[in-house]
Amino acid sequence: MSAHAYKKKNPIWDWLTTVDHKKIGILYLVSGAFFFLLGGLEAILLRVQLLYPEFDFVGAATFNQLLTMHGTTMIFLAAMPLIFGFMNAIIPLQIGARDVAFPFVNSLGFWLFSAGGILLNLGWFMGGAPDAGWTGYAPLSTTSPGNGVDFYVLGLQISGIGTLIGGINFLVTIINMRAPGMTFMRMPLFTWSSFITSGLILFAFPALTIGLALLMFDRLFGTQFFAAEAGGNPIIYEHLFWIFGHPEVYILVLPVFGMFSEIIATFARKRLFGYSAMVFATALIGFLGFMVWVHHMFTVGLGPIANSIFAVATMLIAVPTGVKIFNWLFTMWGGKVSFPTANLFAVGFIPSFVLGGMTGVMLSVPPADYQYHDSYFVVAHFHYVIVGGVVFGLFAGFYYWWPKIFGTMLNEFLGKLHFWLFFIGFHLTFFPMHFLGLMGMPRRVYTYLSGQSLDEANFAASIGAFLMGIATIIMVWNIIQTAIKGKKAGNDPWDGRTLEWAISSPAPEYNFAQTPLIRGLDAWWLEKRAGNKGMVPAEPLDDIHMPDASILPFIMSLGLFIAGLAAIYSMWVIAIGGLVLTVVGMVIRSVIDYHGYHIHKEDLPAEGGKGK
Amino acid sequence: MQMKRWKNVWRFLPLLSVIALTLTGCGNEQLTALLPKGEGAEMQFNLMMLSLYIMIGVFVVVALIYTIVLLRFRRRGEDDNEIPEQTEGNVVLEILWTTVPIILLLILAVPTVMATFALDEGTDNPPEDALVIKVTAHQYWWEFEYPDLEIKTSQDLYMPTGERVYFELASKDVLHSFWVPTLGGKMDTNTATVNKMWLNANEPGTYYGKCAELCGPSHALMDFKVIAQEREDFDAWAEKMQNASSQAATDQAQQGEELFANSCIGCHAVGGEGGNTGPSLTNFGDREMVAGILEHTDENIKAWIAEPGEYKPGNNMPAFGDQLNDEELDALVAYLNGLKVEE
Amino acid sequence: MRAEEMSKLPANPERATLDGKNKFLGFWFFLGGETVLFASLFGVYLGLRNATNGGVTSNELFELPLVFIATMLLLTSSLTSVFATMALKTNHFKRMIGWFVVTALLGLAFLGLEIYEFNHYVHEYGHTMQSSAWGSAFYTLVGTHGAHVTAGIIWIALLIFRNMRRGMDLYTAPKFYLFALYWHFIDVVWIFIFTVVYLMGKVG
């Protein structure tokens, strides 16, 4: 209701209460980057411990904590929020929306994620981090002494709720908030893949919620779900975890597939080859992603029938994935490909990910998997997919959208140095791991004995990890340099194709002064080719409705954080107090009306969202 | 400038695999899955190779298109402002790269399913005369029981060659996974269910076994050995095990036996007598390794008994360093080393 | 003023605004997630329903008459919430509130029966969350449903309390409508619990 939208705000209060998707996107990106550095540091420590056979650097107990936290941090606290960061920063711009469907829920999702992430990492300072692997298999996790696993269970539970509501927000945003003319089959591939990812989040995360809840009950309330001596069965946890866990892989990788589709098309100056095949392949991968979880459990003893069915289902996923690879290649075919850092990562991704896909098909063969399973071969495979796919994609997206998000240009020389060091380090680390696994090295071992021919490949892998570390430091240096004296970016530095490049960098608070009319796929490219300087508006200039900022998401998340921390130490009164704080936040939100406010058309800058 | 960089990458990738292979070969003969020495491992190895060849075929096609794209379709300089044709796609190509992979996967799927069933064959009803071994995993050691022969041993698994030996796998505490890469793939040992599999060693030899499921701090050290012998040697060993004596031969060993009876027998059995929370030690003197990871020397045995947590962090054996003096430790070692059935 | 506004409300006030449409769609998605949540719990329950650890079995424990009454209470409450929704769509605020009050009271009665039932099992049979894996699965599944009922009652009480005086408008209509959706969902879950837990526990 406040008339003056531009009144000065305290910056800290502003960031704590913001419901602007672009700012929430930046919050996600910053915290995701922080956890990425933390998870990377953990990885470096792991590789130092494995430099030499029987080397003593951090020791067995700490090693298990490091490997658990490395996996958990990278998946849940780095990759997920970075993807959510890009989704927040870019999707409303790509579909021509002023906002997301639920700005309040969006902010709540971020604060729940960060509350969970911090809680998860508190273990390091409060008697030991979780040490049962990122999978947290019972009964190792239910019987693990100390509080480490409690931090894992409650931290992930809280951040998982944040992820779930974030997913719902994007589903509704993409369905209901598209600009006129932005039909489903005109949506950019990043929006499409994020849409499908949000659907996967919605149907996958509740299984994790239950798995974690049962672990928590067994640990805190003495239930017997996974205690064989009272009739429990730990295999149930494995099922629940992987019913979530396999879709999670696609949750991570589909959005970056979308990013690659846009980056490759932009820098080839060509329309994406086989757009509808790409959309269909993405949807198919998402669907099949729910049918294959047992391939993580081939050695559990479910019998040859189950193993065969899930093996064939798993092989099927290779088909739509292959379709994507060929469509990317043929997008570049006949194009005019340039290689700034963003496209270097996209182009470097293709052979790296193909290798990961190859080993993926190899792993789908159950008898062979009996050898690969839980060996370094699997470690090699999923790092080829997650680093070669997801991390390369996040880096590509980072260099590509940085100007749109922050309004400056990153240094290209440092960027290219970052790419080459990272690319070489990546292959040097993970390629030898295939052989380590086949030569009999199980994963998650804190050391290996000398005289088993495992020394050289381990040494090479560690050197590669250090290279990736140096590459990451260069990226951080690039960010600092750019933040201090970065060159201003224009609206459209890459000759982009999609709608976000039609507006100023960074986008104004209201994104579009007038909602644009979408006249085809690659809407902005079409207008540029038609000689237009901006998008054609779909509505007259009018007052713009904006949502109210709110501190409640922060307070509600704080309540769950307090409840989780207190529950770990069985301080039930405080735990209930924390829950009450959260519920009170919900009640206030429900009882007080939030009608938002308007930015008056007279207050809009002259050119509005038309860009230049 | 950029061209040169690309060439470097292409030199780099194959180089890397060559480095990895030449430096390490195919790994340690007793450990690697790449030099299979058993029926199961051979079936698995053949499938690995089949899938690898198919995948290399795919990779070559991708690499070829990729190289052409990178060489032919790059932008020439800053002022290359040509707008390429905006192709929508190509239905024939889409059908081609959908159907060809499906055919390739069918070629892989058929032998896959056949081998999956073959590896499970007979595990529920092993043949009458087959040897069945019950494997029980513990943090961080392995117990092997031969129910028909009424033998129990630990850490060293003896089995005959040239026949399928059937296994029943379970765990006492947390999940573990039983893996002898040279003989065959792994199978988890669960707490609530019993898993079954078979292994068949082609030739006599010693093969390394590992735990492949994270099971606690000393997961990395939960090693065991498989000692495969010709059938008659195995039978001879089994008979000796059945008649193993726990009698001490010397005075020193006699003293050790008394100590053992006071301090150790609650957890460790010898010749069927004693507790079973720790490994049975009936043929301890025959073992190549102490606790699966230390060389079998008197010093290592003493060091282990004095401070087991030092060598396998988090294991359940209490430290006896404070309770036993050097002389007592020597006696215990003498007794333990006398517990052997082989010459 | 109020009365005027009410008469001006369109036919489906819960979906007349973009905000209402978003809430409507978002809540359906939320229920989709809840479905997976309960499906997981049902899976766990089916896996452990015979794991009685030597204790009391489901056949000895369950008394169908009690459960039947509970089921009837909840089914009836679902019906009354349909009446409330119909009143909402035709802009009869007072009638809607009335039916929602009946719905909440029936929910409370159901909850009372459930508390009695749990108490009975714990004290008469020693059947607890800790006594067997089946006990853990039973209390977790049925208890999670009970927690949903409790949350629903608090929710509708709050909505009624907050909006009693101001009546219905395009801002409040979606809120009431979502509650009705939620309540139907809970009811459907209970039908599955009745079948899978109680009927199969008695017969299967």
CATH number of the structural domain spanning residue C47: 1.20.120.80
The confidence band for B23, taking pLDDT boundaries of 50, 70 and 90, is low
Q: Which residues of chain C have pLDDT under 50?
A: 1-6
- Residue A586 clears pLDDT 60, i.e. is over it: yes
| Inter-chain CB proximity C47 and A236 less than 8 Å | yes
The enclosing domain of A428 has a CATH number of: 1.20.210.10
The answer to whether residue A482 sits within a structural domain is: yes
The answer to whether residue C11 sits within a structural domain is: no
Domains of chain A: total: 1
Q: Which of B7-21, B186-200, B221-235, C190-204 has the least mean pLDDT?
A: B7-21
- Residue A287 clears pLDDT 90, i.e. is over it: yes
* Alpha carbon distance A404, A501 (integer Å): 7
- Residue A458 clears pLDDT 50, i.e. is over it: yes
For residue A388, give the DSSP letter: I
| Chain A, nearest residue to B186 by Cα | A370
Q: What are the structure tokens assigned to A55, written together?
A: 């080397």
Going by C-alpha positions, the residue among A487, A523, A483, A488 that lies closest to residue A505 is A488
What pLDDT is stored for residue A594 in this prediction?
A: 81
The answer to whether residue A545 sits within a structural domain is: no
**A464 CB near a chain C CB, below 8 Å?**
no
Say which residues have a Cβ less than 8 Å from residue B284's Cβ, sequence separation at least 6: B336, B337, B339, B340
- Residue B12 clears pLDDT 80, i.e. is over it: no
The answer to whether residue A348 sits within a structural domain is: yes
What pLDDT is stored for residue C3 in this prediction?
A: 46
**A243 CB near a chain C CB, below 8 Å?**
yes
Q: Is the preceding omega at residue B140 within 30 degrees of 0, hence cis? A: yes
- Residue A537 clears pLDDT 60, i.e. is over it: yes
Q: Which of A96-105, A322-331, A597-606 has the least mean pLDDT?
A: A597-606
Measure A384 CA to nearest chain B CA, in Å: 14
Domains of chain C: total: 1
For residue A434, give the DSSP letter: H
* Alpha carbon distance A235, C16 (integer Å): 48
Taking contacts as CB-CB distances below 8 angstroms, the residues of chain A near B173 are 139, 143
Q: What are the structure tokens assigned to C66, written together?
A: 């009690």
Neighboring chains of B (3 or more beta-carbon pairs < 8 A):
A
The answer to whether residue C69 sits within a structural domain is: yes
DSSP string covering A109-166: HHHHHHHHHHHHHHGGGTT----STTTT-TTHHHH-SSSHHHHHHHHHHHHHHHHHHH
Q: Which of A60-74, A324-338, B5-19, C113-127 has the least mean pLDDT?
A: B5-19
Each residue of A194-220: pLDDT tens digit?
999 999 999 999 999 999 999 999 999
Contact A120, A71 (CB under 8 A): no
| Inter-chain CB proximity A442 and B212 less than 8 Å | yes
- Residue A76 clears pLDDT 80, i.e. is over it: yes
Query: How confident is the model over B242-251, as a mean pLDDT?
Result: 84
C173-193 and C64-89 helices cross at what angle (nearest 10)?
160
Q: Which of A150-164, A216-230, B189-203, B266-280 has the least mean pLDDT?
A: B266-280
- Residue A597 clears pLDDT 50, i.e. is over it: yes
* Alpha carbon distance A243, A255 (integer Å): 20
The confidence band for A342, taking pLDDT boundaries of 50, 70 and 90, is very high
The answer to whether residue A608 sits within a structural domain is: no
What pLDDT is stored for residue B157 in this prediction?
A: 96
The confidence band for B77, taking pLDDT boundaries of 50, 70 and 90, is confident
HSE-CB for A27 with a 13 A CA cutoff: 23
The answer to whether residue C124 sits within a structural domain is: yes
Contact A99, A45 (CB under 8 A): no
| Inter-chain CB proximity C26 and A239 less than 8 Å | no
What pLDDT is stored for residue B31 in this prediction?
A: 94
What pLDDT is stored for residue B27 in this prediction?
A: 86
Each residue of A289-310: pLDDT tens digit?
999 999 999 999 999 999 999 9
| Inter-chain CB proximity A224 and C133 less than 8 Å | yes
What pLDDT is stored for residue A2 in this prediction?
A: 42
What pLDDT is stored for residue A608 in this prediction?
A: 44
What pLDDT is stored for residue A611 in this prediction?
A: 38
Answer positive or negative: Cα dihedral of A106, A108, A109, A115. positive
Name the residue range of residue C42's domain: 18-203
The 3 state secondary structure assigned to chain C is CHHHHHHHCCCCHHHCCHHHHHHHHHHHHHHHHHHHHHHHHHHHHHHHCCCCCCCCCHHHHCCHHHHHHHHHHHHHHHHHHHHHHHHHHCCCHHHHHHHHHHHHHHHHHHHHHHHHHHHHHHHHHCCCCCCCHHHHHHHHHHHHHHHHHHHHHHHHHHHHHHHCCCCCCCCCHHHHHHHHHHHHHHHHHHHHHHHHHHHHHHHC
Q: What are the structure tokens assigned to A335, written together?
A: 């194009």
% pLDDT > 70, chain B: 93
Name the residue range of residue A83's domain: 2-534+553-603
**B22 CB near a chain A CB, below 8 Å?**
no
Average pLDDT, chain A: 94
* Alpha carbon distance C133, C47 (integer Å): 10
**How remote is the C-alpha of C43 from its chain's centroid?**
20
Say which residues have a Cβ less than 8 Å from residue A48's Cβ, sequence separation at least 6: A57, A58, A462
What pLDDT is stored for residue A610 in this prediction?
A: 41
Query: How confident is the model over A41-57, as a mean pLDDT?
Result: 96
HSE-CB for B112 with a 13 A CA cutoff: 31
Residue with tokens 């010459």: B343
Q: Which of A239-253, A390-404, A468-482, B285-299 has the least mean pLDDT?
A: B285-299
| Inter-chain CB proximity A172 and C33 less than 8 Å | no
What pLDDT is stored for residue B26 in this prediction?
A: 84
HSE-CB for C138 with a 13 A CA cutoff: 28
